[in-house]
Structure 1
Amino acid sequence: MLVWLFVLLLALISLGVPILLVMGVIGLAGILATPSLVPALFPQKMFAMLDNFSLLALPYFILAGELISAGGISKRLVEFGETVVGHWRGGLGHASVVSSMVFAGVSGSSVADTSAIGSILVPAMKDHGYKPGFAAALVACAGTIGAIIPPSMTMIVYGSMANVSIGGLFLGGIVPGVLIGIGLMIVIRIYALAPAYPELRRTSGRFEPRRVMRAMLTVWPALLAPVIVVGGILTGAFTATEAGVVACFYGFLVGFFIYRKLKLADLPRIFVRAAITTAMVSGIIGVAGAFGWLLSYLNFNDIVLGAITHLGGGKLGVLLLLMAVMLVLTMFVDSMAILIILIPVAVIIGRSFGIDEFQLGLLMVMATQIGSTTPPVAVLLFVATSIAGCTYNETIRYCWAFIVAEVVVLTLVVFWPALAAWIPHHFLG
């Protein structure tokens, strides 16, 4: 049964059928083909998956990201990044990474990060002679930081399913997110040394402390957003779910009263976009949860657990093998769906081998985000390619060096758990 389910899964995906429909059809077909199950179980498991208080944070953080994006924060973040690192070789590329790191503390979404920063910096990089494929690949890979530096919608999903502190996951993402940013900037620097990339040897101006201070004065509300969210969770002022509501109010205040870019007439459009995004994410969570339950019923979890345990050996081997499985699967299937399906297996592995819950959670989140930039199914590459106006193959050509940098950081977190676990344990005990 399992073999046929996965054959059908790959066949439908190769035909371009949306992953939500694929898992729904295959899940229902699997239930119909199992005599001991009834079709009503599939929608029941979908609703049971979504019946989680922690998931209430998702629509609020999505709305907060829309409010802050519409409030004019993206352009100010780009200006801030350019004033700080624009004098380096490959200045606009470095500015893209810095802007993505800061915007990550506002949006909580890698897609939103890629779209918001890319819509401003990709045209600017093209104007400065950057190859469109290079600009798209860089923005897409930098966008992964949006789901690693807190707040993060992916962490909310993982924490709610794995019963792990969402606030702790938020804290654990700080160091890995910064390390990914540094890794991407190192790659840009290496590219700048190559004779084939003379455009990267240009700078966007001199370093001027006055410009940095002026940019800081305009961008401080964005820098304050993650401090309020994470700080409020740490001090017990509000839960992770309530933090989403706080982020919405803060985003509205910043856009409406501080930047004055947000108008009341914009709110209906913003609410509709947030509702559509929430519906898409919730649909994937519900269907993937029900599909994952069916796989568990058919002993998929036991099979995967046994294989990884047998092949992986000790703790490090098991973690490396689990990450390899995640990276391969997310090349072909939506990363959020794979995350939801494999969370039960990962949690069992973590408990069996004594793996720190925050380290495991961050590794799973990081692997899904790297998968979002790994061809052929790479949603962030698709988003960035559409912005750059180039071919998908051209973007793929330049993405691999950045993906290698992200995998290196992923491997570092495997070998040094403290990179993801020290801060949450220090503050949460």
Structure 2
Amino acid sequence: MIWMLIAFFTFMFLGMPVAFAIGIAGFIWFLQNPYLPITIPIQLSLSQIINFTLLAIPMFIIAGNIMNSAGVTKRLLDFASSLVGHMRGGLGQVSAVLSTLMGGVSGSSIADAAMETRMLGPEMLKRGYPRGFAVAVNVWTSLIVPIIPPGIAFILYGTIGQVSIGRLFAAGIIPGLLLMVIYMIVIYFVSRRLGLQPEREKRASYREISQALSKSIWALIFPVLLIFGLRAGIFTPSEVGSFAVVYGMIVGFLIHREMSLKSFFTEALGYSVGDIGAVLAILAMSNIFSYGMVWERVPETMANFLLGISTNPYVLMIIIMIFLVFAGLFIDATALILMTTAVFLPVARKIGIDPVHFGLVFILSAAMGNQTPPVGASMYAGCSVLGATLEEYVKASWPFLIATIIIIILVIFFPQLSLLIPKLIFG
């Protein structure tokens, strides 16, 4: 087992793509156990990606890219600007609200960070935003995206842990809104210290807000329809992804009429191929790695170790949060969720923590890895767009890091923040 872990971290340190690092490390473990058939790794990688529930992941990725091609992003940007553009650090405030709205369209923090940095970043620089702060705003606010339903991380966690995906979707609403609020507070005070001005001279009129709202309504009701469809039993988690694709096509072709057949194939489907390939490669390879961990009884050993420290739910959740935040410095967020759900969720269940409540804490803590160096994918996406150095980004990120940890701790100690809406909707 030790050689598998050494190999994994060595490959990650050398910059190998995470899917290959996981897969090769897992294969090394099989080579150390010659009594196991060498065909098992191939079977494991295939069995992981033909899971019917996981079909929702490529469907939601396609749906998100279709909605972007359908002009949804521009409409949501206008709506966000009308709501908060008059506040101090207006473009930063717009970024926080836009990420919250985009959470109902795209479940990818990385895609949102790249998109918003590309849209808002150049204007931020023109208005005197320090380059590192401009990137940090767009990268950290993108953390809201996987928390607001529908989030791909919820599907991964729910599938592995046998937790209701509908409840997980609903549980992300309040924590996602809390993240938006605390990021807006951080942006306000940092902008005030830097002397950054609002985007708009005065507050938008109610008429202007209502017009922007009406243009964005088809994107805003999308997550509501998803949760309602799951609650009413109209869709399974897999089927709701297919509904999302059809819904996006209707919006793009018939309602907004901004998507042509060419943009549908070259942009929506073209971008989706790369996105889906990256996620499914990690999914396939992670099963090989996880097999070795289960065979070596790592989940049981970790459970006994944690329970030996404390059986207090709050203490254990804080310990797990610290571990995930630290591990996220070196491991991709998707891979981290796949590798550790089966390790930590049984511990949570054993001491009576609600798996939905634990899921929010777990996913928030793991997802931060996309925003933190040295392997944060969202961080690199934002920095590459604006040409910011890692030092500039890290210096500007501390307030957002602290704010995020505050929200995670609030969710830990106040379970109803994540459980209230699932209970109201699903009983």
TM-score, L = length of structure 2: 0.96
Which secondary structure does the structure 1 equivalent of 2:105 belong to?
helix
Choose from 302, 315, 329 the match for 2:300.
Answer: 302
Deviation of the 1:410 alpha carbon: 0.7
Paired AA for residue 111 in structure 1: I
Structure 2 residue 335 is matched with structure 1 residue 328: no
Aligned to 1:28: 27
What is the CA–CA distance in structure 2 between the aligned matches of 1:317 and 1:223, rounded to whole Å?
Answer: 37
What is the CA–CA distance in structure 2 between the aligned matches of 1:364 and 1:46, rounded to whole Å?
Answer: 24
Structure 2 residue 247 is matched with structure 1 residue 247: no
Deviation of the 1:91 alpha carbon: 1.1
What is the CA–CA distance in structure 1 between the aligned matches of 2:352 and 2:186, rounded to whole Å?
Answer: 34
Q: Which runs of 4+ in 1 moved over 4 A?
A: none
What is the CA–CA distance in structure 2 between the aligned matches of 1:125 and 1:257, rounded to whole Å?
Answer: 34
Structure 2 residue 185 is matched with structure 1 residue 183: no
Given that residues 110 and 370 in structure 2 are in contact (C-alpha distance below 8 angstroms), is that contact kept between their aligned partners in structure 1?
A: no
What is the CA–CA distance in structure 2 between the aligned matches of 1:70 and 1:16, rounded to whole Å?
Answer: 32
Choose from 362, 377, 387 the match for 1:389.
Answer: 387
Paired AA for residue 58 in structure 1: I
Aligned to 2:212: 215
Deviation of the 1:390 alpha carbon: 1.8
Aligned to 1:204: 200
Aligned to 1:238: 235
Structure 2 residue 231 is matched with structure 1 residue 259: no
Which secondary structure does the structure 2 equivalent of 1:106 belong to?
coil
Structure 2 residue 382 is matched with structure 1 residue 419: no
What is the CA–CA distance in structure 2 between the aligned matches of 1:35 and 1:387, rounded to whole Å?
Answer: 47
Q: Deviations over 1:361-409 (max 9, x none)?
A: 1112111221211111111111111122222321122112111111111
What is the CA–CA distance in structure 2 between the aligned matches of 1:202 and 1:428, rounded to whole Å?
Answer: 41
What is the CA–CA distance in structure 2 between the aligned matches of 1:125 and 1:158, rounded to whole Å?
Answer: 36
Given that residues 78 and 121 in structure 1 are in contact (C-alpha distance below 8 angstroms), is that contact kept between their aligned partners in structure 2?
A: no
Paired AA for residue 223 in structure 1: L
Deviation of the 1:240 alpha carbon: 1.9
Structure 2 residue 147 is matched with structure 1 residue 148: yes
The 5 A counterparts of 1:311-390 are 311-390=309-388
Paired AA for residue 322 in structure 2: A
Structure 2 residue 90 is matched with structure 1 residue 91: yes
Aligned to 2:165: 166
Given that residues 166 and 240 in structure 1 are in contact (C-alpha distance below 8 angstroms), is that contact kept between their aligned partners in structure 2?
A: yes
Q: Deviations over 1:334-384 (max 9, x none)?
A: 111111111111221122111101011111211122121111111111111
What is the CA–CA distance in structure 1 between the aligned matches of 2:370 and 2:306, rounded to whole Å?
Answer: 23
Aligned to 1:7: 6
Given that residues 49 and 290 in structure 1 are in contact (C-alpha distance below 8 angstroms), is that contact kept between their aligned partners in structure 2?
A: no
Paired AA for residue 150 in structure 1: P
Cα RMSD for the two superposed structures: 1.4
Given that residues 370 and 407 in structure 1 are in contact (C-alpha distance below 8 angstroms), is that contact kept between their aligned partners in structure 2?
A: no
Deviation of the 1:12 alpha carbon: 1.6
Which secondary structure does the structure 2 equivalent of 1:426 belong to?
helix
What is the CA–CA distance in structure 1 between the aligned matches of 2:261 and 2:7, rounded to whole Å?
Answer: 48
Number of aligned residue pairs: 425
What is the CA–CA distance in structure 1 between the aligned matches of 2:310 and 2:68, rounded to whole Å?
Answer: 43
Deviation of the 1:330 alpha carbon: 0.9
Q: Deviations over 1:132-168 (max 9, x none)?
A: 2111111111111110000111111111111111111
Deviation of the 1:267 alpha carbon: 2.0
Identity rate, percent: 31
Q: Deviations over 1:38-79 (max 9, x none)?
A: 221112222222232210111111110010011111122111
What is the CA–CA distance in structure 2 between the aligned matches of 1:38 and 1:125, rounded to whole Å?
Answer: 57
Choose from 204, 228, 232 the match for 2:225.
Answer: 228
Given that residues 70 and 257 in structure 2 are in contact (C-alpha distance below 8 angstroms), is that contact kept between their aligned partners in structure 1?
A: yes
Question: 202-211 vs 214-223, which deviates more?
Answer: 202-211
Paired AA for residue 373 in structure 2: P
Q: 5+ unaligned residues in a row in structure 1: which ranges?
A: none
Measured at CA, do residues 237 and 96 of structure 1 come closer, stay the same or move farther in structure 2, by a change above 3 Å? same
Deviation of the 1:289 alpha carbon: 2.0
TM-score, L = length of structure 1: 0.96
Given that residues 60 and 107 in structure 2 are in contact (C-alpha distance below 8 angstroms), is that contact kept between their aligned partners in structure 1?
A: yes
Paired AA for residue 328 in structure 1: F
Which secondary structure does the structure 1 equivalent of 2:334 belong to?
helix
Deviation of the 1:203 alpha carbon: 4.0
Which secondary structure does the structure 1 equivalent of 2:305 belong to?
helix
Given that residues 373 and 381 in structure 1 are in contact (C-alpha distance below 8 angstroms), is that contact kept between their aligned partners in structure 2?
A: yes
Deviation of the 1:232 alpha carbon: 1.4
What is the CA–CA distance in structure 1 between the aligned matches of 2:274 and 2:53, rounded to whole Å?
Answer: 20
Deviation of the 1:313 alpha carbon: 3.8
Paired AA for residue 66 in structure 1: N
What is the CA–CA distance in structure 2 between the aligned matches of 1:116 and 1:71, rounded to whole Å?
Answer: 15
Choose from 260, 269, 272 the match for 1:271.
Answer: 269
Deviation of the 1:312 alpha carbon: 3.7
Given that residues 3 and 29 in structure 2 are in contact (C-alpha distance below 8 angstroms), is that contact kept between their aligned partners in structure 1?
A: no
Given that residues 92 and 204 in structure 1 are in contact (C-alpha distance below 8 angstroms), is that contact kept between their aligned partners in structure 2?
A: no
Given that residues 113 and 139 in structure 2 are in contact (C-alpha distance below 8 angstroms), is that contact kept between their aligned partners in structure 1?
A: yes
Given that residues 305 and 345 in structure 1 are in contact (C-alpha distance below 8 angstroms), is that contact kept between their aligned partners in structure 2?
A: yes
What is the CA–CA distance in structure 1 between the aligned matches of 2:258 and 2:123, rounded to whole Å?
Answer: 22
Given that residues 81 and 95 in structure 1 are in contact (C-alpha distance below 8 angstroms), is that contact kept between their aligned partners in structure 2?
A: yes
